[in-house]
Chain A
Amino acid sequence: MEIFQEVLSSLSQPFTIIYMIFGVAAGMIVGALPGLTATMAIAVMLPFTFSMPADTALITLGGIYIGAIFGGCIAAILINTPGTPSSIATTFDGYPMTQQGKPDQALITAAVSSGIGGVIGGLALLFLTPLLAALALKFGPPEFFWIALLGLTMVATLSAGSLLKGLIGGTIGLLLSTVGLAPIGGSSRFTFGLSQLQAGFELIVMLIAFFCIPQVIKMIKNQTDAKEQVEPFQSQKGVIGYVFKQLFIRPFLILRSAVIGIIVGIIPGAGGNVASLLSYDATVRLSKDQSTFGKGDVRGVAASEGANNAEVGGSLVPLLALGIPGAPPAAVIIGALLMQGIQPGPNLFEENANLIYTFISAFILANVVMLILAIFGSKYIGRVINIPTYYLAPAIVFLTIIGSYAIRNNFMDVVTLIVFGLIGYILAERGFRPAPIVLGLILGPIAEEGLSQSILISEGTGSLLAMFFTRPITVLLMILCVLSLLSPYLGKLLKNQKQKEEKEEAG
């Protein structure tokens, strides 16, 4: 009861609420700029929170984190470029909705699912922290390897059209992820003597390169083609009601996405991008009608955004319970806690219970703030697509260049952006979609570390095969991999059988 009163007292301070709203709004703006991540937004704001009381500082940073993860969907929906890596899967259906003149519908769907997903993530943070953190500790290198393989089976869903091209795209992405110094072994791989490549390719730069540059070239190419024009945006009445109705008749959609997001968030090293891709994949596979995915289906946007905002709560679970960040932005929040003289870890709930419960309550409230800001702001944000291509295209290039450079202050990243952007354009025109390539890039390091560490551990234990094929979680993940690979074919088989039966009955 005492804690409850303390939490209420902290949250009723006007300045705390103002800072929270400011944090969410600032996070949304930064997240919407391609190249600027939630990690960067929190890192930039970190020094400003030093003089604040601990609760206000944490609430402001939590608000920025939530706002930035949502903000990433704005660029994903409007210009087909994920503002943050967490929004990759949002581009699949979000941008086609914009092309159909429905950006406000896509943005409101993203806002509602992000808000609900975020609140569920916050509740998980509140109630499941000790339980789920213990589960995460059972994940070792072989489990991470299988998690990465499970992610790679999504190529079957993402390749849309040619599975073979999707598989080649996926391996190209995996290959690109090996450039630079080997994480275990230390050899310099595929750097061609360039010292700037020793650290490997920056994931965000590659994301922008494969998603944005080909899109800009296509936009300019199609400027005069009437068939390829994006429908102009006109604010319509009743969109909010329509979106709520669409989502509430499918309650399991957001719930499932949120659960996936929380689980992925708890596993250290995975992150919002993996969460949104896994959730999108699960939604496509479990849907009866899969034909509309990738063509502007609200379920695709809801699945991605519900998961990535729930992942924020999930990623804070191991941070608060064990002092291990579940995602890069959570690592910066550890810095904020340490700056305030608070040591994250098992004793945190005993030593700073008031502060932590205030932070978690504010976290849930910040998701509601984000929902309100996003719903009322979407009709203004959506007008971006009415800007003529001759203003929009050069401005997008400018933003991607400045965003890519700002990540590490490295000019090589700008060169990488343009070179791989042009390669991405040629590959896209030849039928190799960017999603499987990017999937390989994201999952490559997780798979490689899992494989290499397992090999090293097996030198001590004696059996590599036993590590990969006999541990309970690896067996479960293996079964999921096989099911995931076979599910499109099983689905087709069942569909054909059902059609055959219906024909026989009719005949």
Chain B
Amino acid sequence: MTKDTGNAVFFIILALGGLWSARTFNTMSAVFPILILGLLLLFSIVYLMVSLFKAGQQEEETSKIFSREALMTSLGLLGYILLIWLIGFLLASLLFLGIMTWYLQGGYVSGRKRLVNAAGSSIAVTVVFFLLFRYIFLVQLPTGFFQ
């Protein structure tokens, strides 16, 4: 199965699932979603047919979606929101910025300088924007378990 065929199958399942859910809505709430899901189903079927037709004609490039850097960044982002929920915005941001900056410097900066850069940028960015949002824009940032 090619990437396009996989995508098309996914969208067909999504459209059918959506139509199944929409059966519980009242008429006025259902009109627009059903119209949209119908269109999605139609376009996805055409996409599936086009992808099956093209499947044998050209060779696919290998997927680079899940490269090491992309995976690390994605895990870093998910870890960041988990940390915000657990220990609050200030501490989570200090940790995220510090660790990400340290990790991304690999191959460019090394030794003590790498650590100093990571800590310096993390503290400077977090503190400046925390103060700006907390005391100028009066945004109550999440505090996690330290409420």
Contacts and interface: CB of A to CB of B under 8 A. Distances in A.
Interface of A: 36, 40, 44, 164-165, 167-168, 171-172, 174-175, 178, 182, 184-187, 189-190, 213, 216-217, 220-221, 223-224, 388-391, 393-395, 397-399, 401-402, 405-406, 409, 411, 414-415, 418, 421-422, 425-426, 429-430, 444, 447-448, 451-452, 455-456
Interface of B: 3, 7, 11, 18, 21-22, 24-33, 35-37, 39-40, 43-44, 46-47, 50, 63-65, 67, 69-70, 72-74, 77-78, 80-81, 84-85, 89, 93, 96-97, 100-101, 104-105, 107-109, 117, 121, 125-126, 129, 133, 137-142
B80 A401 contact: yes
Given A390-B105, A398-B129, A425 B70 contact: yes
B141 A405 contact: yes
A221 B70 contact: yes
Nearest to B102: A390
A186 B74 CA distance: 36
B73 A171 contact: no
A468 to B, nearest CB: 13
A168 B89 contact: no
Contact of A452 (B28, B77, B133): B28
15 contacts: A40-B137, A164-B46, A164-B50, A167-B43, A175-B40, A184-B28, A184-B29, A217-B70, A394-B101, A394-B121, A395-B97, A397-B77, A401-B80, A418-B81, A452-B31
A402 B129 contact: yes
Given A178-B33, A390-B105, A406-B133, A398 B43 contact: no
B69 A220 contact: yes
B46 to A, nearest CB: 6
A186 to B, nearest CB: 7
Contacts, number: 165
A411 B140 CA distance: 11
Contact of A389 (B29, B81, B104, B138): B104
Contacts of B107: 224
A397 B31 CA distance: 38
A284 B129 CA distance: 39
Contact of A187 (B25, B93, B126, B139): B25
Contact of A398 (B3, B11, B73, B125): B125
A188 to B, nearest CB: 9
Contacts of A185: 25-30
Contacts of A414: 81, 84
Given A221-B70, A395-B121, A190 B105 contact: no
B44 A168 contact: yes
Contacts of B64: 221, 429
B31 A451 contact: yes
A171 B27 CA distance: 20
Given A221-B70, A394-B125, A398-B129, 7 more contacts: A168-B44, A185-B28, A187-B26, A189-B22, A405-B142, A429-B64, A430-B3
Contacts of A223: 69, 104
* Interface core residue of B40, B72, B73, B74 (most chain A CB under 10 Å): B73
Residue from the set B11, B104, B105 with the largest chain A CB neighbour count within 10 Å: B104
Contact of A186 (B26, B31, B78, B125): B26
B39 to A, nearest CB: 5
B141 A402 contact: yes
